[in-house]
Structure 1
Amino acid sequence: MSFAYKDVSPKRNLRVLVNPKGGPGKASEIFTSVVQPIFRAARSNCEVTYTERSKHAMDIAKTLPLDTYDAIVTLSGDGLIHEVFSGFAEHPESVKAFSTPICPVPTGSGNGTSLNLLGLKEGFDVGVATLNAIKGKPMRHDICAVILGERRILSFMTVALGLMADLDLGTEHLRWLGDGRFMYGFLRGLIRLKPCPVTLSIKVAESNKEKMARAAQDFNVNIKSSRNDYSAPANDGQASGEQSSADATDEWLTLDKPILYLFTGKSPYVARDLMQFPVARASDGFIDVVAQEVTSRGELLSSIDGGPKGAAYWKDFQHYFKATSYRITPNTPDHEKQNLAIDGERYPFGPFEVEIEQGLASFLSPYGAFVDEFNVPPPSQNKTNEAAGAKEPVLKPLKKLTCLESS
């Protein structure tokens, strides 16, 4: 027993939340036929609730007895995790509540969190996710605070405007398609090609794509070689000279080009077919900000094939920043009609600002870091290698971005 569990306590006490209507609607069946038998074999103690309404999980989380459970297990998509964190924010002992690790079992549409914790090969594997609940270790994770009017909304995954919000919120009636609904929404959005009329202002920590990519790759190598205790807040992404949040500028910079969508996040995968934030780290203290410039339909279609590998990261028309904060200002009087998606949930759109809360939350992880394989070299490296037949990558600095101006 001690060898099998090593430094993890066996017979965990788990609070299990099952959303019967999440994604394709098979969570109840999956729990009964797959998850529950594994928990019983591991002698885990489970208190199970089948959610009956919106915000049911939130109500449970904000009154959760904090010394009773080793983890919360969610059978749903990413929306139920958003509810749990929203509940923690209203808990009488909020900070302590956030230290309770979450373990997702993938039964939703996108299941992005499970993909990030387990990787593309096993991110949709219910059995592997259940074993993570039994033997995984807590891994710290940043939380983004969205200040929208008088509300403070917490986001652990993504904030989306424009095309990326439309393809998510506009296909909720197609949940029976699973993650296929997102591709349908993307193609429908390409037909319309509607710009996102907002002004984006950012406190930038880093915008050099090659530098960010090297730091992320070095970090992954270090994690794989060390496998140290990662229950404490980590300096994720601080390898290879990447800036710390303390080094970030206090100056607000404004993107002066029209954009098709804004997509910001804290983890690489948002779906099986899209690694949108390939250099994201769980608790590096930064928000990964993607501003997709308005471009041709052909250019956007060309990005689909490399979606699971994060190839669009290198596209000139996709601007990528590590930021400590950003602001959005609507540019049209009827902005209330635009979609705003926070962790895939619909919120009323208006001016907002986003800040980072480093290492506030926790997930169970079998590896201590996200499982992403971002090995796509920059275009300059591809051309150099083809011309010279070089085996080792030759990295050259990308031209300095000229689309930022002080505000």
Structure 2
Amino acid sequence: MMDAGDDYLSPSPTLEETFYLISKKNTVYRVKLSEKGLCLQKECNGNIKTQTIILEDVIGCRCMRSKRFAHKCKWRPRSSKKGCHEEVNENSIDWDESDVSAYLYIYAYILKKGKVITHRKRERMIITLRFRSYDKYDDNMHEAQKWRVTIKYLMSSIQQSSLPPCFFKSHDIRIENKVLVIANPKSGVGKAREVFQNKVVPIFTEADINYDLYCTKHALDAQTLMRTTNLWEYMGGVVVAGGDGLLFEVVNGIMERPDWSTMFSQIKLGIIPCGSGNGLAKSISHAFNEPYDQNPVLVSTLNVVHGISTPLDLVRIETKNKIIYSFLSIGWGLISDVDIESERFRSIGSQRFTVYSVAKLIGLKTYKGRVSYIPAVSEQLVPNDDCDTKSVVSDEGRRDSFYSIASKKSAYHSAAGSSYESLTEENVRAFGPSSTLPPLSQSLPSTWTTIEGDFVLVHAAYPSHLMTDCLFAPSAKLDDGCIWLCYIKAGISRAHLVQFLMGMSNGSHIKTPEAVMIPVSALRIEPESGQLTVDGEAIELSPLQAEILPSAAQVFARA
């Protein structure tokens, strides 16, 4: 309960203020804040320049005091130059007592357009407003806090947050929902921790994101964590800093909970691309026309801090011995061989796929088996949910490798010497939706389409991209309720196969004569040789069937 004497501020629908630069005479900045955004109007010697920062580009703001006199109002992108004043928290004792001004820092990442669309990028901007209309610091800070409260209120309206609609406490405006970040130190070229510390943490700080960080110590660690942790503490979302394989563990860990249905409906999933492929992160940005290639980590982090989500299809996969859940792809044949056998070259990043593709073309193989499918229809399959959805709270309590952002020490758990070999898992009960397909051991009805023979590759994807530079399913949407099945039978020339592989970078591979791309709602693969992969991870070679689970999860996106 809050004391009656606490200072509360009501957000205003519109705020306007005029700011001046002492260093530039005859220069006036008129700033207007409304639900449309932040309008910045510069008037200098009769010339007027106007710029509007939309609220969707603003990630946070905070009130500060400054040690050193500097520019009093600016809207240009800020660089780290000597001579600029040092930022000091409003509650810090290290401030200039003679300066009664209050400063409001507004952090935004605006979209800068290049001469061509591929040159678009997000650029950091800090708008600094100095409030000094009053003789007392407390009065000036009160004005700055009024702006801060209104900005937070307008931002929360966009995010459809559960924040109170009328009143906000001036000194505690942050969204309290905590985010769980799971980092894999071995992802990609092994720099996930450095990427998170240097590129993600500063943005989280600007946006007042409250989070816990967990560094995985071995394979399937994230899956165990999701199964045993009290996820009600992390209604802000679960974000992985790693590759698609780490998110694969998170999804399957949640599916091993009795309350899986509730968790998927309540928790948003996110990914900071630190792996080799990063197919889902690219697909999310592609779906909303975000400039991913210029700065993948920045774009993906901004998806998280905005707190908005979009539905994501999942796929239920049944093999002879287990049930798994997928969000990216199923593969058999050439592409799967390249994915798995190039693991030894993961230190060179995504280039390992190109290098090994050339090697596999020289010794091209074919794979004998049978592929069956149900063509997609407009009606989406609805999973049958007959499981208990009561929450399970972990008895393990808080793990030692969790660290809060509030700690001034390193937010990382040392993974030195950690083993990344699979651990022996006790039998874990799989929950999740029940299947609508015939049992894997039974023959398929005549309504299925079946192709038999020798294949060069069979690959099925649900989002658009398999990797950052692989537009595998150009027509795919994140929640279209389709599995995009592609297959090539034996007999294709090497020239056409090279055309196919090179065309995957821009989606033109589907024009290769021997390539067949079909939207399906379910499929069965019965291989006799080769390797099977799910989301880039190898699984046992056995008959496999899969069915779409439309909009089963939510992912952070600039929807």
The answer to whether the Cα contact below 8 Å between 2:243 and 2:276 also exists between their aligned partners in 1 is yes
Show the counterpart of 1:264.
Answer: 460
Which residue does 2:85 correspond to in 1?
none
Matching residue of 1:135? 306
| Structure 2 equivalent of residue 29 of structure 1 | 194
Structure 2 residue 364 is the aligned partner of structure 1 residue 193: yes
Aligned match of 1:92: 258
Alignment of 1:339-350 (within 5 A): 339-350=531-542
Q: Deviations over 1:99-158 (max 9, x none)?
A: 321111111101111101113841552122111111041211111111101311111111
Partner of 1:378: none
> CA–CA distance in 2 between the matches of 1:136 and 1:197?
46
The answer to whether the Cα contact below 8 Å between 1:203 and 1:250 also exists between their aligned partners in 2 is: no
One-letter identity of the residue aligned with 1:190? L
1:2-401 equivalence runs, <5 A: 2-8=153-159, 9=161, 11=175, 12-69=177-234, 70-99=236-265, 100-119=267-286, 121-122=291-292, 125-205=296-376, 243-245=378-380, 251-256=447-452, 258-294=454-490, 295-330=492-527, 332=528, 335=529, 338-367=530-559
Deviation at 1:305, TM superposition (A): 4.0
Whichever residue aligns with residue 183 of structure 1, its letter is: T
Query: 1:304 deviation in Å?
Result: 4.0
**Structure 1 match to 2:165:** none
How many equivalent residue pairs?
A: 326
Distance 1:306 1:165, change over 3 A: closer
CA contact (8 A) 1:166 1:185 kept: no
Q: Contact (CA 8 Å) 1:143, 1:357: kept in 2 or not?
A: yes
Secondary structure (helix, strand or coil) at the match of 2:353 reads: helix
Aligned to 2:65: none
TM-score, length-scaled by structure 1:
0.76
Structure 2: runs of 5 or more not aligned: 1-150, 162-173, 382-444
Report the secondary structure of 1:312's partner residue.
helix
d(CA) in 2 for partners of 1:92 and 1:256? 39
**Contact 1:104 1:129 (8 Å CA) reproduced:** yes
Instruction: Give the aligned residue type for 2:369.
Output: V
In 2, the alpha carbon distance for the partners of 1:167 and 1:98 equals 32
Q: Which has more helix, going by share of residues?
A: 1
Counterparts in 2 of 1:136 and 1:305: CA distance versus 1, 3 Å = farther
Residues in 2 aligned to 1:29 and 1:110: alpha-carbon distance in whole angstroms: 18
The Cα shift of 1:43 comes to 1.1
Question: Could you list the per-position Cα deviations for residues 239-274 of structure 1 after superposition, in whole angstroms to 9, with x for gaps in the alignment?
Answer: xxxx3347xx97111124532111111111111321
Comparing 6-15 with 164-173, greater Cα deviation is found at 6-15
Q: CA RMSD in A?
A: 2.1
Closer/same/farther in 2, CA of residues 145 and 195 from structure 1, 3 Å limit: same
Is 2:372–2:523's contact at 8 Å kept on the other side of the alignment? yes
Shift of 1:98: 2.0
* 1:5–1:135 Cα contact (<8 Å) kept: no
**Aligned mates of 2:554, 2:285 — CA distance in 1:** 15
**Match of 2:455, as an amino acid?**
I
For residues 317 and 446 of structure 2, what CA distance do their matches in structure 1 show? 18
Q: Deviations over 1:40-94 (max 9, x none)?
A: 1211111100111101110111123233221111110100000001101101201
Tell me which of the two structures has the higher relative contact order, counting C-alpha pairs closer than 8 angstroms and 6 or more residues apart. Answer: 1
- C-alpha separation in 2, matches of 1:245 and 1:127: 34
Q: 1:304 to 1:345 in 2, by over 3 A?
A: closer
Q: Does the aligned pair in 2 maintain the 1:85–1:98 contact within 8 Å?
A: no
CA distance in 1, matches of 2:298, 2:517: 35
Residue 200 of structure 1 aligns to a residue whose secondary structure is: strand
Q: Structure 1 vs Structure 2: percent identity of aligned residues?
A: 27
Shift of 1:346: 1.3
Task: Measure how far apart 1:6 and its partner are.
Answer: 4.2
Residue 28 of structure 1: how far off its partner (Å) = 0.5
The answer as to whether partners of 2:245 and 2:536 remain within 8 angstroms in 1 is yes
Equivalent pair of 1:275/1:310 in contact (CA under 8 Å): yes
Instruction: Give the Cα separation in 2 of the matches to 1:203 and 1:194.
Output: 27
Question: For the pair shown, which has the larger CA radius of gyration, 1 or 2?
Answer: 2
For 1:165 and 1:366, locate their aligned partners in 2 and report how far apart those are by CA, in whole Å.
Answer: 31
Q: Secondary structure at the match of 2:258?
A: coil
- Give the TM-score taking structure 2 as reference length: 0.56
Amino acid at match of 1:125: P
Equivalent AA in structure 1 for residue 505 of structure 2: P
Q: Is the partner of 1:309 in helix, strand or coil? A: coil
Gap change, CA 1:250 and 1:31, over 3 Å in 2: farther
CA distance in 2, matches of 1:245, 1:322: 12
